[in-house]
Structure 1
């Protein structure tokens, strides 16, 4: 939302002469014309009112934008429409996500299908193969979305992998998690941490590769997730408090046989991983980051630009955000930490990431000690490196985990 500031124009004042006319005849009586001069107090009051109004508008926009960043929202959105169905295909409106090659799911309110390659279309539509129906029925005119998580349910129903529902203790209460057993509970565990307003299903795409190596994997929920205890204020804290749940999950893993962990974070989960690593790296054998937030300030700038906010308004929103949840955004710029990195790191970034600022991740990889960061960049949008080429992604992940696991 943008608000045009009111324009205030100076009044035009008439100039009245007080000189007597050059005539010997007496002037006829006339009511003198007077124009009241504006008083300084009135001008100051008007200026103050405008200033207060502008501050209210800017502050309101800042409050709203800050609220978007910290809002807990698990609602589903269906921005696409199924335009047609038939002969094992589905027709969608042409959007960057609907035409992108790779592995995706099409999701609607009561159904899910796995999408195959693009096989046709025109300037406004794209036709894709339907690889398989997971649930529900494809019907014309149904609102839908393309889901880069691909899978739904639990590890058994989605991938056929054995798992246990477990609970780990945290500072705000018992937290649910999925535990995929490995060849042995002794050794290195992988702990998967999803992104902001996501859930454990975001970690499905890594499970086959981890399971194939025989490593236990713990996919965790954290505060404010569906089915998890909320924070006191029921707000996202951008990782500032949520990282404590990662530490609690590490404690659970240690208590159940882990001799070390690989922390695996998507998006805000990556910010949580980096905070955990900076606080205490002793139990961390390796780190995997997928489209991580490496600098919240830069990411908020990117989001503000996408909403066409002037940078000064984004700056106001940052100050409001810091005040509302009691954080310092500068604490979440990971670049200064890069030269001190001593934990092997696998970093995935996508070239078309419209959600998270990528430049801080590139700078982090460039300034870390040589060989400490393996940086892989791919096409695709936010956290879509796996979707673009699952086999290549899993090869890179497997090679890394073999090295640190």
Structure 2
């Protein structure tokens, strides 16, 4: 009789549990969503960055009329109240077919401001008219606006003849002032300075440059933020020298300031530049683009992408536009106007530039107002500072 007991059945081999199909599908879905979000965010960043870079280099000369006249009365106009319309000082009001000169504020409420109208120089000012506040003040040309004789001249440049206004001084054999307007602006921007320069007996050459109305266009018809436009300033200096100038003062507004500073650094004869006057200059385009991006609620990485696109699209290096890097080497006397309420550029680099330059080399005057409004807020004080500076460096 066998005593062998029956062997227990062997246990099956252990295998790792298989994830349920639902879990696998969920994992694939999460990966797909993440990839899609990365692609969407990347595409959105690139798209917004490309658009923002295009805004910075766009050439546009169209007028906008953001204000509506709320009421008129003999000798006054009522406008919506904002920081600009309520500022003291001297301004013009422009509309599609007209212009008026504005005086001081004579009435004020929570949402509207009443200003004196000193003259209606063109058209009719009526309730409901779409207008803009014009800090350039003048229209026309030096003869029609200021009663000053001038010549329409052209100066040679790499792109062809460039138009300019030449307001004679007592003699052409003297220091000339060369006025350089800002981005998408016009020679009219320089008009506020012409009377003070003329009273000193100095010739003033107010220049147009590439992409201006009536001037040759750049090959790509884009703004290069001064990166190529400075060549016209150099050409204007050569023209002034050919007409008898013994030196020049370069006078730049906004982007014109960036052009002036680049010319000062790159000119073959910096000693011929007796002085530099700057009005709300762009002393660092990168900082200004950061400010404009933040004002549009763009994340920093989007603005950084826009700056990369901008550099590639017009072939510039934004680092080269940071004038603070060159402040310690400044050898040319400089008059610098900035406005405390500048909504267009970051004027922090201008302040730093003035503090970093050798002692006594920069005269910095800070005023209330928005971009290039220093003259408008107090014309007399502005012109005293300008004529005092020019008298020293002429």
TM-score range for the pair, normalised by the shorter chain length: over 0.9
Show the counterpart of 1:102. 89
Show the counterpart of 1:10. none
Deviations 1:221-261 (A, max 9, x none): 00000110110110000000000000011111010001110
Q: What is the rounded CA distance, in whole Å, between the counterparts of 2:370 and 2:152 in structure 1?
A: 31
- Point out where structure 1 has 5 or more consecutive residues left out of the alignment: 1-17, 19-32
Q: What is the rounded CA distance, in whole Å, between the counterparts of 1:368 and 1:279 in structure 2?
A: 18
1:322 to 311, 336, 340: 311
In the TM superposition, residue 47 of structure 1 has moved relative to its aligned partner by 3.0
TM-score, length-scaled by structure 1? 0.90
Q: What is the rounded CA distance, in whole Å, between the counterparts of 2:27 and 2:78 in structure 1?
A: 67
Q: What is the rounded CA distance, in whole Å, between the counterparts of 1:89 and 1:121 in structure 2?
A: 12
Distance 1:146 1:39, change over 3 A: closer
Deviations 1:82-139 (A, max 9, x none): 1111121111111111111100001111000000111113211111110111111111
Q: What is the rounded CA distance, in whole Å, between the counterparts of 1:35 and 1:361 in structure 2?
A: 62
Q: What is the rounded CA distance, in whole Å, between the counterparts of 1:40 and 1:139 in structure 2?
A: 67
Show the counterpart of 1:335. 324
Show the counterpart of 1:309. 298
Show the counterpart of 1:111. 98
The answer to whether 1:204 aligns with 2:191 is: yes
SS in 2 for 1:299: helix
Deviations 1:192-230 (A, max 9, x none): 000000000000000000000000000000000011011
RMSD over equivalenced CA pairs, Å:
1.4
1:370 to 356, 359, 374: 359
Show the counterpart of 1:345. 334
Deviations 1:339-372 (A, max 9, x none): 1000000000011011111111011000111110
User: What does 1:57-136 align with in structure 2 at a 5 Å threshold?
Assistant: 57-136=44-123
1:285 to 236, 249, 274: 274
SS in 2 for 1:282: helix
TM-score, length-scaled by structure 2? 0.93
The answer to whether 1:49 aligns with 2:2 is: no
1:266 to 244, 253, 260: 253
Distance 1:35 1:391, change over 3 A: closer
The answer to whether 1:296 aligns with 2:285 is: yes
SS in 1 for 2:166: strand
User: What does 1:145-224 align with in structure 2 at a 5 Å threshold?
Assistant: 145-224=132-211
Report how many residues are paired: 374
The answer to whether 1:382 aligns with 2:371 is: yes
2:220 to 223, 226, 233: 233
In the TM superposition, residue 36 of structure 1 has moved relative to its aligned partner by 6.2
Q: What is the rounded CA distance, in whole Å, between the counterparts of 1:131 and 1:46 in structure 2?
A: 64
